Amino acid sequence: STIRDADNIIVMDHGSIVETGNHDELMAKNGFYADLYNSQFSGNVAI
């Protein structure tokens, strides 16, 4: 199983929750989670 299959993903930044949702919802928000997820393929980490 992977994070893409999770019912709910909680995204934290410096100890604070910044986003919640499933993979598709978080990718649609194009926020912190999407940046981290996409960085796996570009080789850049957006932190």
Range of the domain at 33: 9-41
**In a domain? residue 37:** yes
Answer yes or no: is pLDDT of 27 > 60: yes
Residue 24 domain-assigned (yes or no): yes
Q: What is the mean pLDDT of the chain?
A: 90
Residue 33's CB is within 10 A of a number of other CB atoms, namely: 21
pLDDT at 11: 98
CA-CA-CA-CA dihedral for 37, 18, 13, 21, to nearest 10: -40
* Pair 45, 36: CB distance under 8 Å: yes
In a domain, 3, yes or no: no
Query: pTM of the prediction?
Result: 0.78
Q: How confident is the model at residue 44 (pLDDT cuts 50, 70, 90)?
A: low
For position 34, what pLDDT does the model report?
A: 97
Predicted confidence band of residue 17 (pLDDT cuts 50, 70, 90) = very high
- Identify whether 22 is part of a domain: yes
Question: In angstroms, how far is the first alpha carbon of the chain from the final one?
Answer: 25
- Looking at the domain assignment, is residue 4 inside a domain? no
18 domain residue, yes or no? yes
